[in-house]
Amino acid sequence: MNTAIVWFRSDLRLADNRALSKALHMAERVLPLYIHAPGEDDGWAMGSASRWWLHHSLSALDVSVRRLGSRLIIRHGPSLEVLRQLILETGAQYIVWNRVYEPPAIARDKAIKESLRADGLLVESFNSALLYEPWEVSRSNGEPYKVFTPYWKAVQNRGLEHSILPLPPSLPPVSTGVASLAVESLDLLPKIAWDGGFRETWQPGEEGALSQLQEFVDSALGGYAVERDRPDHAGTSRLAPHLHFGELGPRQIVWAIRTRLASGGQSGAESFVRELGWREFAHHLLFHFPHTTESPLNERFVSFPWSEPRAEPMQAWQRGKTGIPLVDAGLRELWHSGWMHNRVRMVVASFLVKNLRIHWLEGARWFWDTLLDADLANNTLGWQWVAGCGADAAPYFRIFNPVLQGERFDPDGDYVRRWVPELARLPARFIHQPWQAPAAILKSCGVTLGLDYPYPIVDLKASREQALEAFKHLQC
Ligand SMILES: Cc1cc2nc3c(=O)[nH]c(=O)nc-3n(C[C@H](O)[C@H](O)[C@H](O)COP(=O)(O)OP(=O)(O)OC[C@H]3O[C@@H](n4cnc5c(N)ncnc54)[C@H](O)[C@@H]3O)c2cc1C
């Protein structure tokens, strides 16, 4: 075979990239292609934070590809037209990509595969994003899983370790006649500079992903089982955006920690891989129940009495001005750094859907726009889990109390102090509930409630009871 096209999508890496590896094996010339086709996302167009990441990840991929002797070709969609045009220009006969699992992308890829095959081309797709394809794991009756624990047991029984593919030593050059857009022309960066915090915190790209993994394994994996719940500590991997953009795959992670996995429960590795299991489960669910991006898996919730849409509470939540310190800290961390700790994601989501009774999709859309790791499978699972309407979800009546959660998981208040600096001088016993502090303490700490920091926008106890009442009606 003379010429192959590798269509990069959510697999922006060179190591352990099955499509790239196969193309290099099959063809003399290999064209690394990225197609920018935002119109093909159907309702879930990439959010602002993700666009920032994509810009830097594509730039990093181009640098890596050039280092090996080639260059990345970037073009504007529609995808099928671009592929056909490049085939025409270069005479490519072999087209490969790694699979993605968002419902509109599956439909698009299927149609493209059929069209190109009908044109007489050889087209193949591979799995470089998951330990197992969503259809490779199923219950004994062939049905998909809806409960995590048996799903994960089935995955473990199949085996977690897979061989991984090394970084190719070199790539064949792309002839100068093949045109490419500059990544800047995709206009992915924000017009208003709100990305300062992103730049401080993250290094998009394969190199950044591998060094983040190494740092996590060396410094935090051992304590992960306990520390993963502490937003005041750096106890998690922060690999989620790298995983979402495929700068690193789960098989590479399992490979990197295989000796720790073999040494059992104390190493933190089992607990960490279990979280990767939730990512696998989320993709399993999205594949088998694609409607869940818009509607609840548990159909009883279709008629749930969400409150009437009101801009004020939603804006207070988005801006981290609800008057509930842990909630506000989380939403400000999100705005500043494009990421939020998992425990706090659960708390802010519960506050939105239960205390404010705002539809989970409103929250999911805000996360979608502001998270650097926004991922349709994981975000849908996370929101439906908290709302109580998804697979294996927290029961609706389990409502997180953000004060107790704060006292338990941020006991000294360091997380709140960092993100809500106006409360920084409050003693730990009041930092999660400043409205309980005596006036003299508030004064000595320079806090005037209602002026420096809001009173809670809802009464936690009363709103909890109202949510439970609404849920009771749903059961009737
Ligand atoms: C309401 C809500 C929305 C969420 N939205 C997203 C999202 O858009 N994108 C996203 O990647 N995760 C999402 N999560 C899951 C989880 O919060 C993040 O994956 C995690 O906080 C990322 O940080 P980390 O990489 O340090 O995670 P670690 O604790 O280091 O975990 C390692 C990896 O496992 C996966 N993972 C961990 N927890 C989960 C989980 N509960 N569900 C699925 N995968 C998981 C992620 O890929 C993560 O990078 C959401 C959770 C909630 C409650």
Q: Which of 243, 258, 288 is the last residue of a domain?
A: 288
Domain that holds residue 92: 3-128
One domain for residues 134 and 22 = no
Listed in sequence order, the residues at least 6 apart from 113 whose beta carbon sits closer than 8 Å to its beta carbon are: 123, 125
Specify if 294 maps to a domain: no
One domain for residues 61 and 7 = yes
Q: What is the pTM of this model?
A: 0.97
Ordered per-residue pLDDT tens for the chain, 476 residues: 799 999 999 999 999 999 999 999 999 999 999 999 998 988 899 999 999 999 999 999 999 999 999 999 999 999 999 999 999 999 999 999 999 999 999 999 999 999 999 999 999 999 999 999 999 999 999 999 999 999 999 999 999 988 999 999 999 999 999 999 999 999 999 988 888 999 999 999 999 999 999 999 999 999 999 999 999 999 999 999 999 999 999 999 999 999 898 887 678 999 999 999 999 999 999 999 999 999 999 988 888 889 888 899 999 999 999 999 999 999 999 999 999 999 999 999 999 999 999 999 999 999 999 999 999 999 999 999 999 998 877 787 889 999 999 999 999 999 999 999 999 999 999 999 999 999 999 999 999 999 999 999 999 999 999 999 988 877 54
One domain for residues 157 and 284 = yes
Q: Which CATH number fits the domain that encloses residue 145? A: 1.25.40.80
One domain for residues 107 and 27 = yes
Q: Which of 242, 262, 288 is the last residue of a domain?
A: 288
Phi/psi of residue 181, each to 5°?
-80, 155
How many domains does the chain divide into?
3
One domain for residues 318 and 410 = yes
Task: Report the b/e string of 256-293 with b at 16+ CB within 10 A.
Answer: bbeebbeeeeebbbbbbbebbbbbbbbbbbbbbbbebb
Residues in contact with ligand 1 by the CB-under-6-Å rule are 228, 236-240, 243-244, 275-276, 278-279, 282, 342, 345-346, 349, 367, 371, 373-375, 378-379, 381-383, 386
CA of 275 to the centre of ligand 1 (A): 8
Nearest CA to ligand 1 atom 44: 279
Catalytic residues: 275, 278, 306, 342, 360, 383
H or E element in which residue 148 lies: helix 148-158
One domain for residues 76 and 218 = no
One domain for residues 284 and 377 = no
One domain for residues 240 and 372 = no
CA of 386 to the centre of ligand 1 (A): 13
Specify if 200 maps to a domain: no
One domain for residues 157 and 235 = yes
Specify if 176 maps to a domain: no
One domain for residues 243 and 306 = no
Specify if 198 maps to a domain: no
One domain for residues 105 and 254 = no
Specify if 114 maps to a domain: yes
CA quadruple 173, 178, 182, 186: dihedral positive or negative? negative
Q: Which CATH number fits the domain that encloses residue 7? A: 3.40.50.620
- Coil, strand or helix: which one is 447? coil
One domain for residues 261 and 356 = no
Specify if 236 maps to a domain: yes
Specify if 191 maps to a domain: no
